[in-house]
Structure 1
Protein backbone atom coordinates (compact mmCIF):
# COMPACT_ATOMS: atom_id res chain seq x y z
CA UNK A 1 0.00 0.00 0.00
CA UNK A 2 2.87 2.39 0.80
CA UNK A 3 4.41 1.67 -2.61
CA UNK A 4 1.11 2.44 -4.35
CA UNK A 5 0.72 5.68 -2.40
CA UNK A 6 4.26 6.76 -3.24
CA UNK A 7 3.68 6.00 -6.91
CA UNK A 8 0.48 8.06 -6.91
CA UNK A 9 2.35 11.02 -5.40
CA UNK A 10 4.78 11.17 -8.30
CA UNK A 11 4.00 13.00 -11.56
CA UNK A 12 2.71 10.83 -14.44
CA UNK A 13 5.38 8.96 -16.39
CA UNK A 14 5.70 10.15 -20.02
CA UNK A 15 4.66 7.67 -22.70
CA UNK A 16 7.29 5.81 -24.68
CA UNK A 17 10.35 3.82 -23.70
CA UNK A 18 11.74 4.46 -20.23
CA UNK A 19 14.86 6.64 -20.42
CA UNK A 20 18.17 5.30 -19.16
CA UNK A 21 18.94 6.62 -15.68
CA UNK A 22 21.52 9.40 -15.79
CA UNK A 23 23.10 11.29 -12.90
CA UNK A 24 21.73 14.79 -12.47
CA UNK A 25 24.07 17.50 -13.69
CA UNK A 26 25.27 20.18 -11.26
CA UNK A 27 22.95 19.05 -8.47
CA UNK A 28 25.28 17.07 -6.19
CA UNK A 29 25.89 19.97 -3.80
CA UNK A 30 22.15 20.57 -3.34
CA UNK A 31 21.53 16.83 -3.00
CA UNK A 32 24.08 16.45 -0.21
CA UNK A 33 22.87 19.55 1.59
CA UNK A 34 19.26 18.39 1.55
CA UNK A 35 20.18 14.97 2.92
CA UNK A 36 22.28 16.53 5.70
CA UNK A 37 19.43 18.80 6.76
CA UNK A 38 16.86 16.02 6.76
CA UNK A 39 19.21 13.72 8.68
CA UNK A 40 19.30 16.37 11.43
CA UNK A 41 15.51 16.44 11.53
CA UNK A 42 15.24 19.80 9.79
CA UNK A 43 12.51 20.63 7.31
CA UNK A 44 13.54 22.30 4.07
CA UNK A 45 11.81 23.92 1.11
CA UNK A 46 13.36 23.41 -2.32
CA UNK A 47 12.31 26.30 -4.55
CA UNK A 48 12.83 26.43 -8.29
CA UNK A 49 10.96 27.41 -11.45
CA UNK A 50 9.17 24.87 -13.60
CA UNK A 51 11.71 22.85 -15.57
CA UNK A 52 14.51 23.24 -13.01
CA UNK A 53 14.48 19.55 -12.06
CA UNK A 54 12.87 19.75 -8.61
CA UNK A 55 11.07 16.43 -8.90
CA UNK A 56 14.13 14.61 -10.24
CA UNK A 57 16.17 15.88 -7.31
CA UNK A 58 13.43 14.87 -4.88
CA UNK A 59 13.54 11.33 -6.28
CA UNK A 60 17.26 11.04 -5.53
CA UNK A 61 17.03 12.56 -2.06
CA UNK A 62 14.13 10.25 -1.20
CA UNK A 63 16.34 7.28 -2.07
CA UNK A 64 19.19 8.68 0.02
CA UNK A 65 16.90 9.11 3.04
CA UNK A 66 15.33 5.65 2.95
CA UNK A 67 16.76 4.56 6.31
CA UNK A 68 16.73 7.82 8.25
CA UNK A 69 13.36 7.66 10.03
CA UNK A 70 11.42 4.87 11.78
CA UNK A 71 8.45 5.27 9.44
CA UNK A 72 10.66 5.62 6.37
CA UNK A 73 10.05 8.01 3.50
CA UNK A 74 6.51 9.08 2.60
CA UNK A 75 5.84 10.68 -0.80
CA UNK A 76 2.98 13.16 -1.06
CA UNK A 77 1.84 15.53 -3.79
CA UNK A 78 0.59 18.97 -2.83
CA UNK A 79 -1.14 19.83 -6.12
CA UNK A 80 -4.60 21.14 -5.23
CA UNK A 81 -4.21 19.80 -1.70
CA UNK A 82 -5.01 21.68 1.50
CA UNK A 83 -3.27 21.21 4.82
CA UNK A 84 -6.11 18.97 5.97
CA UNK A 85 -5.88 16.84 2.83
CA UNK A 86 -2.16 16.28 3.33
CA UNK A 87 -2.51 15.43 7.01
CA UNK A 88 -5.07 12.74 6.22
CA UNK A 89 -2.95 11.41 3.35
CA UNK A 90 0.08 11.17 5.63
CA UNK A 91 -1.96 9.30 8.22
CA UNK A 92 -3.25 6.80 5.67
CA UNK A 93 0.18 6.34 4.07
CA UNK A 94 1.71 5.28 7.40
CA UNK A 95 -1.16 3.67 9.32
CA UNK A 96 -2.76 1.78 6.40
CA UNK A 97 -6.35 2.36 7.49
CA UNK A 98 -8.14 3.01 4.18
CA UNK A 99 -11.67 2.67 5.57
CA UNK A 100 -11.12 4.86 8.61
CA UNK A 101 -11.22 8.65 8.57
CA UNK A 102 -10.34 9.89 12.06
CA UNK A 103 -11.78 13.07 13.48
CA UNK A 104 -9.48 16.03 14.09
CA UNK A 105 -8.38 15.10 17.60
CA UNK A 106 -7.71 11.46 16.76
CA UNK A 107 -5.88 12.45 13.59
CA UNK A 108 -3.55 14.80 15.45
CA UNK A 109 -2.89 12.17 18.10
CA UNK A 110 -1.79 9.66 15.44
CA UNK A 111 0.27 12.23 13.54
CA UNK A 112 2.26 13.16 16.63
CA UNK A 113 3.53 9.56 16.74
CA UNK A 114 4.64 9.39 13.10
CA UNK A 115 8.36 9.76 12.48
CA UNK A 116 9.04 9.99 8.76
CA UNK A 117 10.86 11.92 6.10
CA UNK A 118 7.96 13.41 4.14
CA UNK A 119 8.79 14.31 0.54
CA UNK A 120 6.11 16.74 -0.59
CA UNK A 121 6.18 17.86 -4.21
CA UNK A 122 4.26 20.75 -5.80
CA UNK A 123 3.02 22.35 -2.60
CA UNK A 124 0.69 25.29 -3.21
CA UNK A 125 0.68 27.03 0.17
CA UNK A 126 3.07 28.51 2.71
CA UNK A 127 2.73 30.83 5.68
CA UNK A 128 0.37 29.81 8.47
CA UNK A 129 -1.03 26.88 6.48
CA UNK A 130 2.46 25.40 6.28
CA UNK A 131 2.95 26.10 9.99
CA UNK A 132 -0.17 24.05 10.71
CA UNK A 133 1.19 21.13 8.69
CA UNK A 134 4.55 21.19 10.47
CA UNK A 135 3.10 21.73 13.95
CA UNK A 136 0.85 18.68 13.55
CA UNK A 137 3.82 16.43 12.68
CA UNK A 138 6.60 17.26 15.18
CA UNK A 139 8.51 14.00 14.58
CA UNK A 140 8.64 14.39 10.79
CA UNK A 141 11.19 16.14 8.61
CA UNK A 142 9.71 17.61 5.44
CA UNK A 143 11.35 18.09 2.07
CA UNK A 144 8.98 20.44 0.26
CA UNK A 145 9.25 21.44 -3.39
CA UNK A 146 7.62 24.63 -4.64
CA UNK A 147 7.75 27.16 -7.44
CA UNK A 148 8.82 30.74 -6.60
CA UNK A 149 5.23 32.04 -6.77
CA UNK A 150 4.12 29.88 -3.82
CA UNK A 151 3.94 31.86 -0.55
CA UNK A 152 7.09 31.53 1.56
CA UNK A 153 7.22 29.82 4.95
CA UNK A 154 6.49 32.13 7.87
CA UNK A 155 9.50 33.89 9.36
CA UNK A 156 9.48 31.84 12.58
CA UNK A 157 8.88 28.42 10.98
CA UNK A 158 12.60 27.43 10.98
CA UNK A 159 12.19 25.90 7.52
CA UNK A 160 15.48 25.98 5.62
CA UNK A 161 15.34 27.36 2.08
CA UNK A 162 17.30 25.94 -0.86
CA UNK A 163 16.96 27.52 -4.29
CA UNK A 164 17.43 25.45 -7.44
CA UNK A 165 18.84 27.53 -10.28
CA UNK A 166 19.71 26.75 -13.88
CA UNK A 167 22.66 24.86 -15.33
CA UNK A 168 25.74 26.60 -16.62
CA UNK A 169 26.37 26.65 -20.37
CA UNK A 170 28.62 23.57 -20.38
CA UNK A 171 26.04 21.62 -18.40
CA UNK A 172 23.34 22.54 -20.89
CA UNK A 173 25.46 21.34 -23.81
CA UNK A 174 26.20 18.07 -22.01
CA UNK A 175 22.51 17.49 -21.34
CA UNK A 176 21.68 18.02 -25.02
CA UNK A 177 24.44 15.60 -26.03
CA UNK A 178 23.00 12.99 -23.69
CA UNK A 179 19.63 13.41 -25.35
CA UNK A 180 20.86 13.30 -28.94
CA UNK A 181 23.40 10.54 -28.27
CA UNK A 182 26.44 12.23 -29.85
CA UNK A 183 28.65 15.29 -29.59
CA UNK A 184 27.32 18.50 -31.12
CA UNK A 185 28.60 20.19 -34.24
CA UNK A 186 29.98 23.71 -33.91
CA UNK A 187 26.74 25.13 -35.31
CA UNK A 188 24.67 23.12 -32.82
CA UNK A 189 26.94 24.12 -29.92
CA UNK A 190 26.45 27.80 -30.80
CA UNK A 191 22.69 27.21 -30.99
CA UNK A 192 22.83 25.52 -27.58
CA UNK A 193 24.60 28.59 -26.19
CA UNK A 194 21.83 30.84 -27.46
CA UNK A 195 19.27 28.47 -25.94
CA UNK A 196 21.09 28.63 -22.61
CA UNK A 197 20.76 32.41 -22.62
CA UNK A 198 17.07 32.31 -23.59
CA UNK A 199 16.10 29.57 -21.12
CA UNK A 200 18.16 30.76 -18.13
CA UNK A 201 19.71 27.30 -17.98
CA UNK A 202 16.55 25.34 -17.12
CA UNK A 203 17.40 21.62 -17.54
CA UNK A 204 14.02 20.72 -19.07
CA UNK A 205 14.68 23.01 -22.02
CA UNK A 206 17.91 21.15 -22.82
CA UNK A 207 16.17 17.80 -22.54
CA UNK A 208 13.63 19.10 -25.07
CA UNK A 209 16.43 20.45 -27.26
CA UNK A 210 18.08 17.02 -27.32
CA UNK A 211 14.81 15.46 -28.43
CA UNK A 212 14.43 18.06 -31.19
CA UNK A 213 17.96 17.44 -32.48
CA UNK A 214 17.32 13.71 -32.41
CA UNK A 215 14.26 14.27 -34.61
CA UNK A 216 16.38 16.46 -36.89
CA UNK A 217 18.99 13.71 -37.21
CA UNK A 218 16.30 11.29 -38.31
CA UNK A 219 15.07 13.72 -40.94
CA UNK A 220 18.60 14.26 -42.23
CA UNK A 221 19.53 10.61 -42.29
CA UNK A 222 18.73 8.57 -45.41
CA UNK A 223 18.18 4.84 -45.39
CA UNK A 224 21.88 4.11 -45.85
CA UNK A 225 22.81 6.44 -43.01
CA UNK A 226 20.65 4.44 -40.63
CA UNK A 227 22.97 1.47 -40.94
CA UNK A 228 26.21 3.46 -41.24
CA UNK A 229 25.72 5.78 -38.27
CA UNK A 230 23.31 3.71 -36.17
CA UNK A 231 20.79 6.56 -35.94
CA UNK A 232 18.14 4.31 -34.48
CA UNK A 233 20.45 2.04 -32.52
CA UNK A 234 20.06 1.80 -28.77
CA UNK A 235 23.34 3.66 -28.24
CA UNK A 236 24.26 6.00 -31.13
CA UNK A 237 28.01 6.61 -31.55
CA UNK A 238 29.03 9.55 -29.39
CA UNK A 239 32.05 10.50 -31.50
CA UNK A 240 30.24 10.80 -34.84
CA UNK A 241 28.46 14.17 -35.10
CA UNK A 242 26.79 15.07 -38.35
CA UNK A 243 28.99 17.28 -40.49
CA UNK A 244 27.43 20.52 -41.63
CA UNK A 245 26.90 19.13 -45.12
CA UNK A 246 25.62 15.68 -44.20
CA UNK A 247 22.15 14.62 -45.29
CA UNK A 248 19.35 16.89 -46.31
CA UNK A 249 19.52 20.56 -45.38
CA UNK A 250 17.23 20.54 -42.33
CA UNK A 251 17.50 23.77 -40.33
CA UNK A 252 18.09 23.79 -36.62
CA UNK A 253 14.94 24.14 -34.51
CA UNK A 254 14.04 27.68 -33.57
CA UNK A 255 14.92 28.83 -30.08
CA UNK A 256 11.19 29.27 -29.53
CA UNK A 257 10.62 25.55 -30.12
CA UNK A 258 13.38 24.46 -27.76
CA UNK A 259 12.49 26.97 -25.05
CA UNK A 260 8.73 26.38 -25.21
CA UNK A 261 6.91 24.55 -22.40
CA UNK A 262 6.95 20.82 -23.04
CA UNK A 263 3.20 20.45 -23.88
CA UNK A 264 3.71 22.72 -26.90
CA UNK A 265 6.34 20.49 -28.49
Structure 2
Protein backbone atom coordinates (compact mmCIF):
# COMPACT_ATOMS: atom_id res chain seq x y z
CA UNK A 1 0.00 0.00 0.00
CA UNK A 2 1.28 3.45 -0.96
CA UNK A 3 1.41 6.06 1.80
CA UNK A 4 2.43 9.69 1.98
CA UNK A 5 1.79 12.29 4.65
CA UNK A 6 0.83 15.66 3.17
CA UNK A 7 -0.32 18.82 4.92
CA UNK A 8 -3.97 19.55 4.14
CA UNK A 9 -3.13 23.14 3.17
CA UNK A 10 -0.79 21.74 0.49
CA UNK A 11 -3.56 19.46 -0.74
CA UNK A 12 -5.94 22.39 -0.98
CA UNK A 13 -3.34 24.54 -2.74
CA UNK A 14 -2.59 21.86 -5.34
CA UNK A 15 -6.24 20.89 -5.75
CA UNK A 16 -5.20 17.25 -6.06
CA UNK A 17 -6.02 14.49 -3.58
CA UNK A 18 -4.83 11.46 -5.57
CA UNK A 19 -1.75 9.86 -4.02
CA UNK A 20 -0.01 9.25 -7.35
CA UNK A 21 0.22 13.01 -7.91
CA UNK A 22 2.01 13.60 -4.61
CA UNK A 23 4.41 10.65 -4.70
CA UNK A 24 7.80 11.47 -6.28
CA UNK A 25 8.33 10.23 -9.83
CA UNK A 26 10.34 7.01 -9.99
CA UNK A 27 12.24 7.74 -13.20
CA UNK A 28 14.11 10.79 -11.95
CA UNK A 29 15.55 8.90 -8.98
CA UNK A 30 18.29 7.44 -11.16
CA UNK A 31 19.82 10.89 -11.73
CA UNK A 32 22.06 12.62 -9.18
CA UNK A 33 19.94 15.01 -7.12
CA UNK A 34 22.28 17.92 -7.84
CA UNK A 35 21.64 17.43 -11.58
CA UNK A 36 17.86 17.72 -11.29
CA UNK A 37 16.12 21.06 -11.76
CA UNK A 38 12.61 22.18 -12.70
CA UNK A 39 12.04 23.25 -16.29
CA UNK A 40 11.44 26.77 -14.93
CA UNK A 41 15.22 27.04 -14.41
CA UNK A 42 15.82 26.28 -18.08
CA UNK A 43 12.97 28.04 -19.91
CA UNK A 44 10.11 30.50 -19.73
CA UNK A 45 6.53 30.17 -20.93
CA UNK A 46 5.78 32.12 -24.12
CA UNK A 47 2.38 33.81 -24.09
CA UNK A 48 2.59 35.71 -27.41
CA UNK A 49 -0.52 35.34 -29.54
CA UNK A 50 -1.59 36.34 -33.03
CA UNK A 51 -5.06 36.19 -34.55
CA UNK A 52 -4.65 35.31 -38.25
CA UNK A 53 -8.34 35.96 -38.95
CA UNK A 54 -7.62 39.71 -38.73
CA UNK A 55 -5.83 39.37 -42.09
CA UNK A 56 -8.14 36.93 -43.91
CA UNK A 57 -6.19 36.95 -47.20
CA UNK A 58 -2.72 36.54 -45.69
CA UNK A 59 -1.10 33.09 -45.84
CA UNK A 60 0.47 31.49 -42.77
CA UNK A 61 1.70 28.08 -41.70
CA UNK A 62 -0.17 26.39 -38.91
CA UNK A 63 1.49 23.81 -36.65
CA UNK A 64 -1.08 21.63 -34.95
CA UNK A 65 -0.49 18.57 -32.80
CA UNK A 66 -0.73 16.18 -35.76
CA UNK A 67 2.28 17.94 -37.32
CA UNK A 68 4.63 16.64 -34.62
CA UNK A 69 6.16 13.25 -35.38
CA UNK A 70 6.09 11.57 -31.97
CA UNK A 71 8.80 8.98 -32.69
CA UNK A 72 11.42 11.69 -33.24
CA UNK A 73 9.83 14.88 -31.95
CA UNK A 74 10.12 16.79 -35.21
CA UNK A 75 7.73 19.14 -37.00
CA UNK A 76 6.44 17.76 -40.30
CA UNK A 77 4.38 19.51 -42.95
CA UNK A 78 2.41 22.28 -41.22
CA UNK A 79 -0.76 23.35 -43.01
CA UNK A 80 -0.62 26.41 -45.26
CA UNK A 81 -3.78 28.41 -44.66
CA UNK A 82 -5.21 31.85 -45.26
CA UNK A 83 -6.37 33.90 -42.30
CA UNK A 84 -9.98 33.22 -43.25
CA UNK A 85 -9.32 29.46 -43.00
CA UNK A 86 -7.67 29.65 -39.58
CA UNK A 87 -9.16 27.34 -36.93
CA UNK A 88 -10.01 28.89 -33.59
CA UNK A 89 -7.03 27.19 -31.94
CA UNK A 90 -4.51 28.78 -34.33
CA UNK A 91 -3.41 31.57 -32.01
CA UNK A 92 0.05 30.98 -30.50
CA UNK A 93 2.97 32.80 -32.10
CA UNK A 94 6.26 30.89 -32.12
CA UNK A 95 9.87 31.75 -32.86
CA UNK A 96 12.66 29.55 -34.16
CA UNK A 97 14.13 27.33 -31.41
CA UNK A 98 11.09 27.64 -29.17
CA UNK A 99 9.83 24.29 -27.90
CA UNK A 100 6.23 23.25 -28.37
CA UNK A 101 4.80 20.66 -25.97
CA UNK A 102 1.42 19.05 -26.56
CA UNK A 103 -0.59 19.51 -23.38
CA UNK A 104 -3.27 17.01 -24.42
CA UNK A 105 -2.22 13.38 -23.90
CA UNK A 106 1.30 14.63 -23.08
CA UNK A 107 2.76 11.15 -22.55
CA UNK A 108 2.75 10.67 -26.34
CA UNK A 109 5.84 12.87 -26.44
CA UNK A 110 4.55 15.29 -29.09
CA UNK A 111 7.31 17.76 -28.29
CA UNK A 112 9.38 19.58 -30.89
CA UNK A 113 11.87 22.37 -31.47
CA UNK A 114 10.47 24.96 -33.88
CA UNK A 115 12.70 24.94 -37.01
CA UNK A 116 13.97 28.23 -38.47
CA UNK A 117 11.67 27.95 -41.49
CA UNK A 118 8.68 28.27 -39.16
CA UNK A 119 9.94 31.37 -37.34
CA UNK A 120 7.05 33.73 -36.55
CA UNK A 121 4.46 31.17 -37.64
CA UNK A 122 1.46 30.04 -35.58
CA UNK A 123 0.85 26.91 -33.54
CA UNK A 124 -2.18 25.47 -31.79
CA UNK A 125 -3.27 26.59 -28.35
CA UNK A 126 -3.04 22.87 -27.56
CA UNK A 127 0.71 23.41 -27.14
CA UNK A 128 2.60 24.84 -24.23
CA UNK A 129 5.29 27.04 -25.80
CA UNK A 130 8.54 27.53 -23.90
CA UNK A 131 11.67 29.49 -24.76
CA UNK A 132 15.07 28.34 -23.46
CA UNK A 133 16.91 30.73 -21.18
CA UNK A 134 20.46 31.91 -21.89
CA UNK A 135 22.90 29.03 -21.57
CA UNK A 136 20.29 26.34 -22.31
CA UNK A 137 20.53 24.39 -25.55
CA UNK A 138 17.04 23.97 -27.07
CA UNK A 139 17.92 20.60 -28.56
CA UNK A 140 19.18 19.34 -25.20
CA UNK A 141 16.00 20.63 -23.54
CA UNK A 142 13.99 18.79 -26.19
CA UNK A 143 15.90 15.60 -25.38
CA UNK A 144 15.33 16.06 -21.63
CA UNK A 145 11.59 16.70 -21.97
CA UNK A 146 11.12 13.54 -24.05
CA UNK A 147 12.87 11.33 -21.48
CA UNK A 148 10.65 8.66 -19.95
CA UNK A 149 11.19 10.31 -16.55
CA UNK A 150 9.70 13.56 -17.88
CA UNK A 151 6.76 11.83 -19.55
CA UNK A 152 6.11 9.98 -16.30
CA UNK A 153 5.77 13.32 -14.53
CA UNK A 154 3.44 14.59 -17.24
CA UNK A 155 1.28 11.53 -16.58
CA UNK A 156 1.21 12.26 -12.85
CA UNK A 157 0.30 15.91 -13.43
CA UNK A 158 -2.45 15.13 -15.97
CA UNK A 159 -6.12 15.66 -15.24
CA UNK A 160 -9.03 14.15 -17.14
CA UNK A 161 -9.62 10.58 -18.26
CA UNK A 162 -10.60 10.55 -21.94
CA UNK A 163 -8.19 13.35 -22.88
CA UNK A 164 -5.69 13.78 -20.03
CA UNK A 165 -4.03 17.18 -20.16
CA UNK A 166 -1.44 19.28 -18.36
CA UNK A 167 -0.99 23.02 -17.83
CA UNK A 168 1.90 25.40 -18.48
CA UNK A 169 2.58 25.34 -14.74
CA UNK A 170 2.94 21.55 -14.87
CA UNK A 171 5.56 21.85 -17.60
CA UNK A 172 7.53 24.38 -15.55
CA UNK A 173 7.65 22.21 -12.43
CA UNK A 174 8.72 19.06 -14.26
CA UNK A 175 12.13 17.91 -13.02
CA UNK A 176 14.78 17.27 -15.67
CA UNK A 177 18.51 16.54 -15.61
CA UNK A 178 20.19 19.86 -16.45
CA UNK A 179 23.98 19.65 -16.87
CA UNK A 180 26.30 22.55 -17.75
CA UNK A 181 26.07 24.25 -21.14
CA UNK A 182 29.11 22.47 -22.62
CA UNK A 183 27.65 19.08 -21.75
CA UNK A 184 24.28 20.10 -23.17
CA UNK A 185 25.94 21.07 -26.45
CA UNK A 186 27.74 17.72 -26.69
CA UNK A 187 24.55 15.76 -26.02
CA UNK A 188 22.60 17.89 -28.52
CA UNK A 189 25.20 17.25 -31.23
CA UNK A 190 25.17 13.51 -30.50
CA UNK A 191 21.37 13.26 -30.59
CA UNK A 192 21.08 15.32 -33.80
CA UNK A 193 23.78 13.19 -35.43
CA UNK A 194 21.89 10.04 -34.46
CA UNK A 195 18.67 11.53 -35.85
CA UNK A 196 20.43 12.24 -39.15
CA UNK A 197 21.73 8.65 -39.29
CA UNK A 198 18.20 7.40 -38.66
CA UNK A 199 16.81 9.61 -41.41
CA UNK A 200 19.49 8.44 -43.87
CA UNK A 201 18.90 4.78 -42.99
CA UNK A 202 15.15 5.15 -43.56
CA UNK A 203 15.79 6.91 -46.88
CA UNK A 204 18.14 4.12 -47.98
CA UNK A 205 15.69 1.39 -46.93
CA UNK A 206 12.80 3.12 -48.71
CA UNK A 207 14.89 3.60 -51.87
CA UNK A 208 15.88 -0.08 -51.85
CA UNK A 209 12.26 -1.14 -51.40
CA UNK A 210 10.96 1.07 -54.24
CA UNK A 211 13.81 -0.02 -56.55
CA UNK A 212 12.95 -3.67 -55.87
CA UNK A 213 9.27 -3.02 -56.59
CA UNK A 214 10.24 -1.44 -59.92
CA UNK A 215 12.45 -4.45 -60.66
CA UNK A 216 9.50 -6.81 -60.15
CA UNK A 217 7.21 -4.67 -62.32
CA UNK A 218 9.76 -4.52 -65.14
CA UNK A 219 10.29 -8.29 -64.96
CA UNK A 220 6.56 -8.97 -65.18
CA UNK A 221 6.18 -6.60 -68.14
CA UNK A 222 9.13 -8.05 -70.07
CA UNK A 223 8.97 -11.78 -69.26
CA UNK A 224 5.67 -12.38 -67.40
CA UNK A 225 7.73 -14.03 -64.66
CA UNK A 226 10.23 -13.30 -61.90
CA UNK A 227 13.40 -15.38 -61.55
CA UNK A 228 15.28 -13.70 -58.70
CA UNK A 229 15.38 -16.13 -55.77
CA UNK A 230 15.68 -14.82 -52.21
CA UNK A 231 15.54 -16.73 -48.94
CA UNK A 232 12.98 -15.23 -46.56
CA UNK A 233 12.28 -17.05 -43.30
CA UNK A 234 10.57 -14.43 -41.15
CA UNK A 235 7.16 -15.96 -41.84
CA UNK A 236 5.41 -18.11 -44.45
CA UNK A 237 5.21 -16.43 -47.84
CA UNK A 238 4.95 -19.27 -50.41
CA UNK A 239 1.36 -20.26 -51.27
CA UNK A 240 1.84 -23.90 -50.24
CA UNK A 241 3.29 -22.88 -46.86
CA UNK A 242 0.47 -20.40 -46.30
CA UNK A 243 -2.18 -23.08 -46.97
CA UNK A 244 -0.46 -25.44 -44.52
CA UNK A 245 -0.33 -22.71 -41.86
CA UNK A 246 -4.02 -21.88 -42.32
CA UNK A 247 -4.90 -25.56 -41.86
CA UNK A 248 -2.83 -25.65 -38.65
CA UNK A 249 -4.54 -22.62 -37.12
CA UNK A 250 -7.66 -22.85 -34.98
CA UNK A 251 -10.83 -22.78 -37.09
CA UNK A 252 -13.04 -19.70 -37.08
CA UNK A 253 -16.22 -20.00 -35.02
CA UNK A 254 -18.85 -17.49 -36.19
CA UNK A 255 -21.48 -16.59 -33.60
TM-score (norm 2): 0.23
Structure with the higher strand share, 1 or 2:
2
The structure with the largest alpha-carbon Rg is 2
